[in-house]
Chain A
Amino acid sequence: MRSRIRENLIRVVLTMVAFSSLVFLVGIVLVLFREGLPIFRKIGLAHFIFGRDWYPTYDPPSFGILPLMAASFLVTVGAMVVAIPIGVASAITISQVLPGRVRGIIKPVVELLAGVPSVVYGLFGMQVMAPLVMNVFGLPTGLTALTASIILGIMALPTVVSIAEDALSAVPGTYREASYALGATRWETISRVLVPAASSGIVTASLLGMGRAIGETMTVLMVAGGAAVVPTSFLQPVRPMTATIAAEMGEAPVGGSHYHALFAIAIVLFVVTLAFNMVADGFTRRFQRKVAGGR
């Protein structure tokens, strides 16, 4: 009898514990909206999203986040131009070109590198990549969208390589055998059978890499330069959304318009990354079905 009470108690406790993640997620949403909505009420959603001027400390202040969104978009696209081709090609090399023994060594190394803290990438970007970009292009400052894109791209590489490699290795061996049996070479098999079969997994890898780049804070804060203007080229300093929040939250008076505006930026950021994760999730599920169907 006592044991039954204990069993039920444990079940109840575990159920409550399991809800913690959901509670935190809902809590984050509630907090963001509670602290961020006042700015929408004050200046209107359209002015906030499409306003071209971000002057939060002027009198009167102006809270248009178009330059910040454009900056986030620009560095994310730039990062993906670096990370996706190199990452997917590396994944192909690891899973299909090199002998299996090498894969056993390189895969853990790549996973290990995914753990390098972003602030270290930021330090490297400031001290090494920025002077390089400045000298190569003859710019007044090396802290530009291009610099941030390169560093973010390098940062996203381990994520892209690791997930794309998983997808390629998960393609059933029968696909490869069927292709060889038809007389295709190894490269033809890779490019026309294995990569198409793993395509949704590769898309997932790219999306997750992109999600990581959009939400990344420290690197862009240190490397992107911080100018809140709508960018017209890769060679100018920009101020992505994450960097704006991190740089300004310390000085924004609690409860003021600036404070609310920074939370509202976080709402935009949250919605965008949420959308990315959901789409990536959909592709993962599609890939799992496809691979399972091929066995």
Chain B
Amino acid sequence: MRGAEDRVITGRRVVPSGGAAPMAPVGARPAEAEARVRRQRRQRRQAGMFALMIAALVLALGFLALLLGFVAARGIGVISWEFITEMPRNAMTEGGILPAILGTFYLVVGAMVMATPLGVGSAIFLTEYARQGPLVRAIRIGVNNLAGVPSVVFGLFGLAVFVKMFGFGVSILSGALTLGIVVLPTIIRASEEAILAVPVSYREASLALGATKWQTVRYAVLPSAMPGILTGCILGVGRVAGETAPIMFTAATFFTARLPESIFEEVQALPYHIYALVTEGTHPEAQVPIAFGTALVLLALVLGVDLAAIILRSRYEKTR
């Protein structure tokens, strides 16, 4: 504990070059002047570096503002009530994007129906039931590495397992299951954090009243952790809605003439629709604007959902 602080104090890197100049006796003007010059130089250097650092932040936020601003500017003109409530017409050059909006909705709901119970259950097990040991370590390795798998690899897995092996075909079901796996680590981590934040005294009080383990979890821990778990799930929704690569071979199609009637049918989805319009479209002059309109709808959806989660979290943190 002491070691780290010692190092900082005595490490040669920290010894200031001029700040600790010995107090000059009266009359020793040259030394004093020299110290002042050095101090000024250090101050100027600081001002310069701070300006550089702030410039980097402005650049970073500027890049991202440019992206959002551009998509908004090109997309806003396309968006109308008809755009979000009508079917596409005339080989995707006119009309709305209703099938893509509904398709994304189905996929998100399906993925969350699969991932939420698994994710919250895993988190409860890891925080409340598991004892430290090789078992827990193995599960943790699973969660951590699953979070790092590239999204296109999930797509391949979904293709080989759900589409081919289980025979679900390219369908809402295959896509939702694949997306469910993609989002599982997000939900586990958020739920774990929320459950760990519940004070131990809640559990002790519940157990002292004679409640069983599960009763304690169910009636003392989960209600208190619920806002945090909910936040994690909402963030998961935002992530699932924007994923493209996992649904490319498992669920998405560029064109359907009608809305899907069962979970075994393929669907349009907002992110895939954007991709398909700009890469496979045959009438770019009419389809690129639609792609920007679709991108704006997707952005509004994803960022709106994420914003809701962030607001919920900050509110929850304040009340505690």
Is residue A10 contacting chain B, with contact meaning CB distance below 8 A? yes
A6, B214: Cβ atoms closer than 8 Å = yes
Stretch at the interface among B39-47, B83-91, B196-204, B222-230: B39-47
Q: Shortest Cβ distance from A270 into chain B, in angstroms?
A: 6
Q: Which residues of chain A from 251 to 295 have any CB-CB distance to chain B below 8 Å in the complex? A: 254, 262-263, 266, 269-270, 273-274, 276-277, 281, 290, 293-295
B8, A119: Cβ atoms closer than 8 Å = no
Q: Which residue of chain A has the shortest Cβ distance to B153 in the bound complex? A: A266
Residue of B50, B241, B249 with most chain A CB atoms under a 10 A cut-off: B50
Q: Which residue of chain B has the shortest Cβ distance to A36 in the bound complex? A: B156
Provide the A1-32 mask, 1 if CB < 8 A to any CB of B, else 0: 00100110011011101111111111110011
Is residue B302 contacting chain A, with contact meaning CB distance below 8 A? yes
Q: Shortest Cβ distance from B164 into chain A, in angstroms?
A: 7
B242, A118: Cβ atoms closer than 8 Å = yes
Is residue A108 contacting chain B, with contact meaning CB distance below 8 A? yes
A277, B152: Cβ atoms closer than 8 Å = no
Q: Shortest Cβ distance from B222 into chain A, in angstroms?
A: 13
> In the docked arrangement, what's the CA distance between A215 and B155, Å?
12
> In the docked arrangement, what's the CA distance between A250 and B63, Å?
33
Count of A-B contacts judged by CB separation below 8 Å: 290
Residues on B with C-beta less than 8 A from A35 are 156, 160
B53, A120: Cβ atoms closer than 8 Å = no
Is residue A43 contacting chain B, with contact meaning CB distance below 8 A? no
Residue of B57, B117, B303 with most chain A CB atoms under a 10 A cut-off: B57
Q: Which residue of chain A has the shortest Cβ distance to B273 in the bound complex? A: A119
> In the docked arrangement, what's the CA distance between A13 and B129, Å?
11
Is residue B79 contacting chain A, with contact meaning CB distance below 8 A? no
Is residue B207 contacting chain A, with contact meaning CB distance below 8 A? no
B122, A18: Cβ atoms closer than 8 Å = yes
B292, A246: Cβ atoms closer than 8 Å = no
- Known contacts being A35-B160, A218-B244, is A246 close to B152, with CB within 8 Å? yes
Interface size class of B (residues with CB under 8 A): 35 or more
Across the interface, B122 reaches (CB within 8 A) one of A21, A86, A179, A293, namely A21
> In the docked arrangement, what's the CA distance between A266 and B9, Å?
49
Across the interface, B303 reaches (CB within 8 A) one of A85, A116, A215, A269, namely A116
Across the interface, A115 reaches (CB within 8 A) one of B151, B242, B244, namely B242
A93, B244: Cβ atoms closer than 8 Å = no
Residues on A with C-beta less than 8 A from B54 are 93, 97-98
Provide the A172-192 mask, 1 if CB < 8 A to any CB of B, else 0: 001100110011111110011
- Known contacts being A119-B242, A276-B148, A293-B3, is A178 close to B8, with CB within 8 Å? yes
Residues on A with C-beta less than 8 A from B188 are 21
Provide the A77-105 mask, 1 if CB < 8 A to any CB of B, else 0: 00000000111011011100110000000
> In the docked arrangement, what's the CA distance between A214 and B212, Å?
47
Is residue A126 contacting chain B, with contact meaning CB distance below 8 A? yes
Is residue B167 contacting chain A, with contact meaning CB distance below 8 A? no
B56, A185: Cβ atoms closer than 8 Å = no
> In the docked arrangement, what's the CA distance between A128 and B74, Å?
11
> In the docked arrangement, what's the CA distance between A246 and B150, Å?
12
Across the interface, A89 reaches (CB within 8 A) one of B56, B156, B278, B299, namely B56
B64, A157: Cβ atoms closer than 8 Å = yes
Q: Which residue of chain B has the shortest Cβ distance to A216 in the bound complex? A: B150
A269, B14: Cβ atoms closer than 8 Å = no
Residues on B with C-beta less than 8 A from A262 are 156
Provide the B134-160 mask, 1 if CB < 8 A to any CB of A, else 0: 000011011111111111111111011
> In the docked arrangement, what's the CA distance between A7 and B217, Å?
11
Across the interface, A273 reaches (CB within 8 A) one of B71, B74, B150, namely B150
- Known contacts being A27-B157, A246-B152, A249-B159, is A154 close to B16, with CB within 8 Å? no
A123, B310: Cβ atoms closer than 8 Å = no
Residues on B with C-beta less than 8 A from A119 are 242, 244, 271-272, 274-275, 295, 298
Q: Which residue of chain B has the shortest Cβ distance to A272 in the bound complex? A: B150
Residues on B with C-beta less than 8 A from A90 are 53, 56-57, 60-61
Is residue A127 contacting chain B, with contact meaning CB distance below 8 A? yes
Q: Which residues of chain A from 206 to 232 have any CB-CB distance to chain B below 8 Å in the complex? A: 211, 214-218, 221-222
A sample of 13 inter-chain contacts (CB < 8 A) reads: A7-B212, A18-B125, A21-B146, A21-B184, A115-B238, A119-B272, A122-B274, A124-B71, A179-B14, A184-B14, A187-B45, A216-B150, A294-B5
Measuring CB to CB, which residues of chain B are less than 8 angstroms from any residue of chain A?
1, 3-5, 8-9, 13-16, 19-20, 42-43, 45-46, 49-50, 52-54, 56-57, 59-61, 63-64, 67-68, 70-71, 74, 117-118, 121-122, 124-126, 129-130, 138-139, 141-157, 159-161, 164, 181, 184-185, 188, 212-214, 235, 238-239, 241-245, 248-249, 271-272, 274-275, 278-279, 288, 291-292, 295, 298-299, 302-303, 306-307, 310, 314
Measuring CB to CB, which residues of chain A are less than 8 angstroms from any residue of chain B?
3, 6-7, 10-11, 13-15, 17-28, 31-32, 34-35, 85-87, 89-90, 92-94, 97-98, 106, 108-109, 111-113, 115-124, 126-128, 154, 157-158, 161, 174-175, 178-179, 182-188, 191-193, 196-197, 211, 214-218, 221-222, 242, 245-246, 249-250, 254, 262-263, 266, 269-270, 273-274, 276-277, 281, 290, 293-295
